[in-house]
Amino acid sequence: MIRENKLYDELQVGDTASLKRVCTANDLYVFAHASGNLNPLHLPNDEHDNLEAVAPSMWIGALFSSVLGNILPGPGTLYRAQTLSFLDRAHVGDELNIEVTVKEKKPDNIVLLDTRVTGRGGDRIAEGMAEVLAPVRKVRIEDTDMPELLVQQHQHFDKLLDRAEALEPLITAVAAPEEENSLGGAMLAAKHGIITPILIGNRAAIEAAARAEGEDLTGIEIIETENHGMAAAKAVELAHTGQAGAVMKGHMHTSDLLAHVVKKDGGLRTGRRLSHVFVMDVPGLDHMLIVSDAAVNIMPDLEAKVDITQNAIDMALSLGVEQPKVGVLSAIETVNPKIQSTLDAAALSKMADRGQIRGGIVDGPLAMDNAMDVEAAKTKGITSLVAGRAEVLIVPNLESGNMLAKELAFVAHAEAAGVALGASVPIILTSRSDGEKARLASCAIAALYRDWRIKGGQ
Query: What's the pLDDT tens digit per position in 404-415?
Result: 999 999 998 899
Longest dimension (CA), the chain: 93
pLDDT tops 70 at residue 431: yes
Residues 310, 386, single domain; the answer is yes
Question: Is there a single domain that holds both residue 84 and residue 200?
Answer: no
pLDDT tens digits along 369-411: 999 999 999 999 998 999 999 999 999 999 999 999 999 999 9
State mean pLDDT over 412-430.
94
Indicate whether 207 and 291 sit together in one domain.
yes
pLDDT at 50: 44
Q: Are residues 284 and 382 in the same domain?
A: yes
129/159 same-domain check? no
Rg of the chain on CA atoms, in Å: 28
pLDDT at 137 over 90: yes
Beta strands in 84-194 (DSSP E): 85-86, 95-106, 110-118, 124-133, 140-142, 170-175
> How many other CB atoms are found less than 10 A from the CB of residue 129?
15
User: 118 pairs with which residues across the strands?
Assistant: 97, 124
CATH number, domain containing residue 63:
3.10.129.10
Q: Is 400 a domain residue?
A: yes
Q: What's the structural domain count of the chain?
A: 2
> CATH number of the domain that 288 lies in?
3.40.718.10
In a domain, 150, yes or no: no
Residue 89 confidence (pLDDT): 93
Instruction: Choose the weakest-confidence range: 66-70, 136-140, 153-157, 400-404.
Output: 153-157
Residues 294 and 407 in one domain: yes
DSSP calls for 299-325: S--HHHHHHHHHHHHHHHHHTT-SS-E
Residues 119 and 169 in one domain: no
Q: Which domain holds residue 98?
A: 2-142
pLDDT at residue 47, as a whole number = 44
**131 and 221 together in one domain:** no
pTM: 0.78
Q: What is the pLDDT of residues 47-74, one digit of tens each?
A: 444 447 899 999 999 999 999 999 999 9
Q: What is the mean pLDDT of the chain?
A: 92
Claim to verify: residue 232 and residue 204 sit in the same structural domain: yes
